[in-house]
């Protein structure tokens, strides 16, 4: 599997709060007291201790030697992994958990074959397939495959509004046409594809509603390469 689009809920208020610490980590020098406090908080969180052993190990090593520059004993990929792990653990709902096996979860949606249908819609293209993604890119994780795009609140409201017709019967004509074309191409029954798109749209709409439920929340998306 490759090329899926993962959409999750992120707390941008929290992200802004930890941004100075992320900048310090990215510089990979000696950390200040506030950054060290953040790392202690992350190390103490049950989510990190139980579900992110790699991150927990890195945090232990750094906290054991706060006097050392990170760049002296950690490799660049480890620093990148640390930053990515902290952003997921501290800013994403449910610690950034998602699953390819369960594409619609409580805090995520993975668009796979549904992308072929939704990707033809103007609003979806404008929001998720922007050819200039740097304009709305999350500052961290900075490197490689883990980069995220972030939606403005207006975009989240538009997603919620544009998804509404997909939840009603009958499904809009433009979607039905897309489903028929996809059925021919993929040799899957239209009904199967319709159910997949409907289920995804329901999960996606729940995420959008969650994203709109608090000022600091929004949706973040990344391509799974």
Partner 1 sequence: MPHNVDEGAEETAERLEREAHDAIAGFSLDDAVRLVREALAIREASQGDGHPDLIWTLSLWIEALGRKHRPETALEAAGLGERRLALRRTALASAPDELAYSLRELMALYTFEYDVLDTGRIDELQRELDALPAARHERDA
Q: Check residue 36 for interaction with partner 1 (CB under 8 A).
A: no
Q: Check residue 164 for interaction with partner 1 (CB under 8 A).
A: no
Residues 40-69 that bind partner 1 (CB under 8 A): 61, 64-65, 67-69
Q: How far apart are CA 95 and CA 204, in angstroms?
A: 18
Beta carbon of residue 5, minimum distance to partner 1 (angstroms, whole number): 20
Q: Check residue 72 for interaction with partner 1 (CB under 8 A).
A: yes
Q: How many residues bind partner 1 (CB under 8 A)?
A: 18
Q: Check residue 71 for interaction with partner 1 (CB under 8 A).
A: yes
**Which neighbouring-strand residues pair with 224?**
4
What mask of x and - would describe binding to partner 1 in positions 89 to 108, judged by CB under 8 A?
--------------------
Residues 124-143 that bind partner 1 (CB under 8 A): 142-143
Q: Check residue 28 for interaction with partner 1 (CB under 8 A).
A: yes
Please report the DSSP string for 116-150 in residue order.
HHHTTSHHHHHHH--S-GGGGB-SSS-SGGG--EE
Helix (H, G, I), strand (E, B) or coil at 43: helix
Q: Check residue 24 for interaction with partner 1 (CB under 8 A).
A: no
Within 10 angstroms of residue 46's Cβ, the number of other Cβ atoms is: 8
Burial of 119 (C-beta count, 10 Å sphere; 0-12/13-18/19+): middle
Beta carbon of residue 71, minimum distance to partner 1 (angstroms, whole number): 4
Beta carbon of residue 23, minimum distance to partner 1 (angstroms, whole number): 13
**Which neighbouring-strand residues pair with 11?**
217
Q: How far apart are CA 180 and CA 141, in angstroms?
A: 38
Residues at the interface with partner 1 (CB under 8 A): 28, 61, 64-65, 67-69, 71-73, 75-77, 80, 142-145
């Amino acid at each position: 599997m490759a090329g899926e689009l993962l959409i999750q809920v992120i707390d941008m208020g929290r992200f802004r709060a930890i941004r100075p610490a992320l900048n310090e980590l990215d510089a990979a020098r000696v950390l200040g007291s506030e950054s060290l406090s953040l790392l202690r908080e992350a190390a103490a969180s049950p989510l990190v201790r139980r579900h992110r052993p790699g991150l927990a190990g890195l945090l232990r090593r750094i906290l054991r030697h706060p006097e050392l520059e990170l760049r002296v004993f950690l490799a660049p990929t480890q620093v990148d992994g640390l930053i990515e792990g902290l952003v997921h653990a501290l800013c994403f709902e449910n610690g950034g958990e998602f699953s390819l096996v369960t594409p619609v979860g409580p805090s995520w949606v993975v668009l796979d074959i549904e992308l072929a249908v939704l990707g033809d819609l103007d609003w979806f293209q404008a929001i998720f397939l922007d050819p200039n993604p740097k304009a709305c890119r999350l500052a961290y994780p900075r490197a490689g495959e883990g980069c995220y795009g972030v939606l403005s609140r207006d975009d989240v409201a538009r997603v919620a509004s544009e998804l509404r017709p997909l939840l009603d019967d009958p499904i809009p004509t433009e979607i039905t046409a897309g489903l028929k074309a996809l059925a021919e191409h993929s040799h899957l029954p239209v009904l199967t594809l319709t159910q997949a798109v409907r289920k995804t749209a329901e999960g996606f709409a729940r995420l959008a509603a969650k994203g709109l439920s608090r000022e600091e929340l929004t949706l973040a998306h990344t391509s799974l390469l």
